[in-house]
Amino acid sequence: MQRDQLHDIVRRLDRMTDAQIAALTLPREGLKITTPLLIADRFEGATKLPPGPPNGLHARADGTYELTRVAIVRVQPDEYRLLAKKMLKRATAHSLAIGAACGFAVAVGAIVAMQLTRNAPDTASPALSAPCLVSSTTESSVICRLGQQAVSVAVGAFFPDGQYRLDAVDSLRHSFTATRIIDRQTLLFQADPRSLPNQPGVKPQ
């Protein structure tokens, strides 16, 4: 049988109803079945039926039987089965390829992000600097200069820039502690011995 004829038969069967297909399968002189006319154990699904004729046979009034139920199973040629199998394999391979590509892209992106983060300059802790040019310290305050003007900052008060609050003063060691407002970090400032006594200044510790 040629390929085109096989395809025509399959298409013709797809357009036919079950009754038409059954009529093609039954012989013209009728279907003769040799079967016991009385079956003791009959079931319809999980329901047990009383003894009677086999399922699909109906007893007529004249004592004969007729076939009332026919099971039709359509079997496609192996060519279509193999074609469907090939399509499933192709779709599976395509899905796996997409998944692998996405996973590779995510892995590369994560590695690049880690390298950039590792090589980025550390900007979390800003450089320390004195709140102003400190000229001297007393027991309870710090004298600092803003240009030609001297400003006294008492313990608990803010320095002129508003970014530091004076916490404590050690006039003997020429040092003081201050809290940086932006991150609540306590910093220790001590006078640079090289700047005493001519040009007093402070350096962070």
**What average pLDDT is seen over the chain?**
76
Q: Helices in 3-162 by DSSP H: which ranges?
A: 3-14, 18-25, 78-119
Q: How confident is the model at residue 201 (pLDDT cuts 50, 70, 90)?
A: very low
List, edge to edge, every strand of the sheet that includes 185-191: 164-170, 175-180, 185-191, 202-204
- Tell which phi-psi region holds residue 32, choosing left (phi > 0), alpha (psi between -120 and 50) or beta: beta
What's the token pair of residue 192? 């640079």
The 10s digit of each residue's pLDDT in 141-188 is 888 877 777 888 888 888 887 888 888 888 777 788 888 888 888 888
CA-to-CA distance for 203 and 194, rounded, in angstroms? Answer: 11
**Bigger pLDDT: 128 vs 140:** 140
Distance of CA 139 to the CA centre of its chain: 61
pLDDT of residue 205: 45
Amino acid identity at 161 = D
pLDDT above 70 as % of the chain: 78
Q: Which H or E run includes 38?
A: none
Distance of CA 103 to the CA centre of its chain: 11
Identify whether the C-beta of residue 191 lies closer than 8 Å to the C-beta of residue 202: yes
The 10s digit of each residue's pLDDT in 20-66 is 777 777 777 776 667 777 778 888 878 888 887 777 777 788 877 77
Q: Within 10 A of 59 (CB to CB), how many other CB atoms are there?
A: 13
**Bigger pLDDT: 200 vs 47:** 47
pLDDT value at 138 more than 70: yes
Q: Within 10 A of 178 (CB to CB), how many other CB atoms are there?
A: 24
**Bigger pLDDT: 15 vs 71:** 15
pLDDT of residue 109: 86
Q: Judging by beta carbons within 10 Å of its beta carbon (0-12, 13-18, 19+), is residue 99 exposed, middle or buried?
A: exposed
Give 2's strand partners.
Answer: none
pLDDT of residue 199: 39
Angstrom CA distances, 95 to 82, 88, 91, 101, stand at 20, 11, 6, 10
